[in-house]
Amino acid sequence: MNEHARVAAGQRRPAAHAMDERLLRWSGRLFRLVALAGMAVFGSYILLRASGATFRNFAQWRPLLEGQPMPALSDWVANIGIGMHFAMGAILLFAWPILFSATIRARHRAVHRWTGRVYVSAGFLAGCGGLSFIFAHGAYTPAASVAFGIWGGVMMLSAVMAYVHARGRRFDLHRAWVIRLFAMVLGSWLFDIEFRAWKDLTGGAGIGPGEASGFFDYALLYLFFVPNLLVAEFFIRNKHRRIVLPPAWRWPALAGLAAVAAVFVYAVVVVSATGTGKYGRHLLQLVTG
């Protein structure tokens, strides 16, 4: 390669890196915007359905809300536990933009601190409520009880560790555990998003009929939170490192990211804003009557 060709190649590399960084930055912004809207819809769905405002209440919560007889102590524990899980879960879904706002953290420290205290408390209580329901009543299958129990345990651990490290002023460790906590919160929403995306893309392959479980039903019990935790660990451990992909991987990686983003946006819209969506059919009923 002559000198002119080397100079031209050197000029193309920074331009290519700049384009990659712009695409990654815009992908991050798109994910944040869609997550902000989607999780707000999810939080509204939980509050409205749990309160009985929509056409169908949650079966796990209906006995206490409607004053139905509950002769066993386990019924009371399960209903109160799941009610606390719903209420604390709504706080976790609505408060995260305040907690993660760099502007608020820099300019309004007291707001950030109190939001953080509320957030970790809600994370711990949401886990307690969910585990209370599982121990007293059980999830829809034994396999689901195990998976949701692990998920709830990780959520509670993350909340406790985030608080402990904040009190000890170990802010890097505090931030890492808050990220792990948010990864668990994100999973509660992604469960429905991943289910709908897989169902529509594959025609329901691996989804059992009725209350039966197929291979995807079992896989989803861990897909909704384990990958989130792995991604969170990657960013925690590489926070101060500049990640540069080899040139041969760059465009395939960006194309894969674009495909995932497209499926993600599609699933969020269908679940949240259509009559066939899990949230949409409840929320649209309130709008249309």
pLDDT at 13 over 70: no
How confident is the model over 41-47, as a mean pLDDT?
Answer: 95
255 or 221: which carries more pLDDT confidence? 221
Per-residue pLDDT band for 243 (boundaries 50, 70, 90) equals low
Percent of the chain with pLDDT over 70: 90
pLDDT digits (tens, 9 = 90+) for 201-216: 999 999 999 878 999 9
- What pLDDT is attached to residue 244? 67
How confident is the model over 241-264, as a mean pLDDT?
Answer: 80
pLDDT at 31 over 90: no
pLDDT at 281 over 80: yes
Mean pLDDT is highest, among 96-100, 235-239, 283-287, for: 96-100
- What pLDDT is attached to residue 8? 45
Percent of the chain with pLDDT over 90: 67
pLDDT at 16 over 80: no
Provide the 10 A C-beta neighbour count for residue 70: 14
* pTM reported for the whole predicted model: 0.88
> What does pLDDT average to over the chain?
89
How far apart (Å, rounded) are the C-alpha atoms in residues 53 and 45? 10
pLDDT at 89 over 90: yes
pLDDT at 7 over 60: no
Tokens 């205290």 correspond to what residue?
Answer: 117
Per-residue pLDDT band for 265 (boundaries 50, 70, 90) equals very high
pLDDT digits (tens, 9 = 90+) for 157-197: 999 999 999 999 999 999 999 999 999 999 999 999 999 99
